[in-house]
Chains A and B, each alone.
Chain A
Amino acid sequence: MGFLIALAAMVGSVVFQVVLTGLWPAAATFFDLPLIPVIYFAITRGPTWALLMGLGAGLLEDSLEGTLLGVNALSKSLVGYLVGRLSLRFALVPLMSRVVVLAMSTALSGAIAAGTLAIMGRSLAYSPYPDLLETILGNSAAGFLVMGAGKREGPQ
């Protein structure tokens, strides 16, 4: 059941991001919605779940967005794993702590993606740096709503 929920959250967030970007192109700057369930599952289920979700969501995102396949998968997997490890050491139960973690994760994910592309000799379809703050703010706001509605528990 947990797997299905995770799968639905992963696919749903990616599709929602794509649809939202289709309707409102600026949404690509403001949100990185697939990262939200990755971080949520990292906090509530641990690093392995987060790693798998990050990998799946990232690959889907890369495929749908047409960027270099693996960039988002790598960044989300890494960030998900790190947050999952962090949640094993610290109780990230308060909503605000989760939102702060999400904000930091967003920044880190963006940086990893940009760095990976730089290593691969490619550039992003859009430059993340001027818009990174907007992404952090937008994602934090969206995460506040999503995580506020989710369960407040740590990894089992």
Chain B
Amino acid sequence: MLQVLRERRALLFLIAVVASLFVIMAVQVRQGAAAGSETFLLRLTSPLVRAASTVTGGVTGLWDRYVNLRHTRSRNAALEEKVTQLELEMQKLEEARLQNERLRALLDLKEGMALSSVAASVIANNYRGLSHTILVDRGSASGVKPNMAVVSAQGVIGRVWTVTGGISKIQLITDASAGTAVLVQRTRVEGILLGRGSPMCELEYVPTLEDVQQGDLLVTSGLDQIYPKGLPVGRVGEIGPSEGILKGISVIPRVEFERLEEVLILLTSDLSGNWHTLPQAAAPLPVGTKAERTGSALPER
């Protein structure tokens, strides 16, 4: 009998296990959730459950973070692209706003003038070159002719030098061969503004005794038959030592030539008066003086 039991040990063990399990299950079914065996085993395995949960949570968290990171990267790239686009858009809008301001100023100037004019855009700027010139996109087709005055809202720019059908070359007042008849607004002292091929100009033919002070505004006098009278040109900079009976005066132009983008070309040939008032008779330029260089009929230096 014992021999049989020893031989059938595994089978007996199985029967015992199966019977026990059935009893446990039956008790659970009868008692429901309050079954003691279930509670006991759950308590026994709870560290294992907690460990498994921690591992699962850790791996899931790691995965989630990885996925989120990937999403973050792609979102970041998309946002950066959008920011770049918006920056470009903003730059365009800012450019349009600035252009609008400039054109508005130019329009105000045009409307304030009693003279006909045409607006032009600067297509090349040679302000830092050997000759201080700019090219604008208006030519003879728009009625532009040589020696017409070119101005901006800031003041006098120069005169039309050469003209083709659709492009004109403008000689700036700072060009070494340019001259402009001006007067000191405060004291009405007249003089000739000469370009020096540098950012500064010189006011010449002003007697030593005349009242000219640093900061005085110079306006066109209209005597050169190119610029209408009263256009702002620049301010007196330094007043140097006298050259005999004449003063040596440097002038800072009002116009920022390096930043020119739009200009106004005055189309009228009748400049015998103040540009913003009724035309008045202007005295002819004295022949043989340096002022001749500023006149359209006079040779350039």
Main secondary structure of the interface of A (DSSP, over half): helix
Of the stretches B41-49, B155-163, B187-195, B260-268, the one at the interface is B41-49
Contact with B along A104-136 (1 / 0, CB 8 A): 000000000000100011100000000000000
Bound CA span A14–B55, Å = 13
Q: When the two chains form their complex, are residues A48 and B10 in contact, meaning their CB atoms are under 8 A apart? A: yes
Which residues 1-47 of A sit at the B interface, judged by CB distance below 8 A? 11, 14-15, 18-19, 22-23, 46-47
Q: When the two chains form their complex, are residues B42 and A19 in contact, meaning their CB atoms are under 8 A apart? A: no
Q: When the two chains form their complex, are residues A77 and B18 in contact, meaning their CB atoms are under 8 A apart? A: yes
A74 on the B face (CB < 8 A): yes
Distance between B21 CB and nearest chain A CB, rounded to angstroms:
4
Nearest B residue to A116, CB-CB: B25
B38 on the A face (CB < 8 A): yes
For residue B49, which residues in chain A have a CB less than 8 angstroms away from its CB? 18, 63-64
For residue B45, which residues in chain A have a CB less than 8 angstroms away from its CB? 60, 63-64
Nearest A residue to B42, CB-CB: A63
For residue B18, which residues in chain A have a CB less than 8 angstroms away from its CB? 74, 77-78
Q: When the two chains form their complex, are residues B10 and A15 in contact, meaning their CB atoms are under 8 A apart? A: no
Distance between A73 CB and nearest chain B CB, rounded to angstroms:
6
Nearest B residue to A22, CB-CB: B56
Q: When the two chains form their complex, are residues B56 and A23 in contact, meaning their CB atoms are under 8 A apart? A: yes
For residue A70, which residues in chain B have a CB less than 8 angstroms away from its CB? 21-22, 24-25, 28
- Give the most central of A19, A74, A120, A121: most B CB within 10 Å: A19
For residue B14, which residues in chain A have a CB less than 8 angstroms away from its CB? 47, 51, 77-78, 81
Q: When the two chains form their complex, are residues A47 and B10 in contact, meaning their CB atoms are under 8 A apart? A: yes
Contact with A along B58-97 (1 / 0, CB 8 A): 0110010000000000000000000000000000000000
For residue A11, which residues in chain B have a CB less than 8 angstroms away from its CB? 48
A95 on the B face (CB < 8 A): no
Nearest B residue to A59, CB-CB: B41
For residue A141, which residues in chain B have a CB less than 8 angstroms away from its CB? none
For residue B107, which residues in chain A have a CB less than 8 angstroms away from its CB? none
For residue A121, which residues in chain B have a CB less than 8 angstroms away from its CB? 29
Distance between A25 CB and nearest chain B CB, rounded to angstroms:
11
Q: A15-B52, A78-B18 in contact; A51/B25 too (CB < 8 A)?
A: no
Bound CA span A69–B59, Å = 28
Q: When the two chains form their complex, are residues B56 and A18 in contact, meaning their CB atoms are under 8 A apart? A: yes
A103 on the B face (CB < 8 A): no
B113 on the A face (CB < 8 A): no
Bound CA span A60–B48, Å = 9
- Give the most central of A11, A22, A63, A70: most B CB within 10 Å: A70
Distance between B207 CB and nearest chain A CB, rounded to angstroms:
98
Q: When the two chains form their complex, are residues B13 and A48 in contact, meaning their CB atoms are under 8 A apart? A: yes
Nearest B residue to A122, CB-CB: B29
Distance between A31 CB and nearest chain B CB, rounded to angstroms:
15
For residue A99, which residues in chain B have a CB less than 8 angstroms away from its CB? none
Distance between B57 CB and nearest chain A CB, rounded to angstroms:
8
For residue B51, which residues in chain A have a CB less than 8 angstroms away from its CB? 15
For residue B29, which residues in chain A have a CB less than 8 angstroms away from its CB? 68, 120-122
Q: When the two chains form their complex, are residues A69 and B10 in contact, meaning their CB atoms are under 8 A apart? A: no
Q: When the two chains form their complex, are residues A69 and B52 in contact, meaning their CB atoms are under 8 A apart? A: no
Knowing that A23-B60, A81-B10, A116-B25 touch, tell me 14 more A-B residue pairs with CB under 8 angstroms: A48-B9, A63-B45, A64-B45, A64-B48, A64-B52, A68-B25, A69-B38, A70-B22, A70-B24, A71-B25, A74-B17, A78-B18, A84-B10, A120-B29
Closest 6 A/B residue pairs (Cβ): A22-B56, A70-B21, A63-B45, A18-B52, A70-B25, A74-B21
Between-chain CB contacts (< 8 Å), 20 pairs: A11-B48, A14-B48, A15-B51, A48-B9, A48-B10, A48-B13, A59-B41, A60-B45, A63-B38, A64-B52, A68-B25, A68-B28, A69-B24, A69-B37, A70-B21, A70-B24, A73-B21, A78-B14, A78-B18, A120-B26
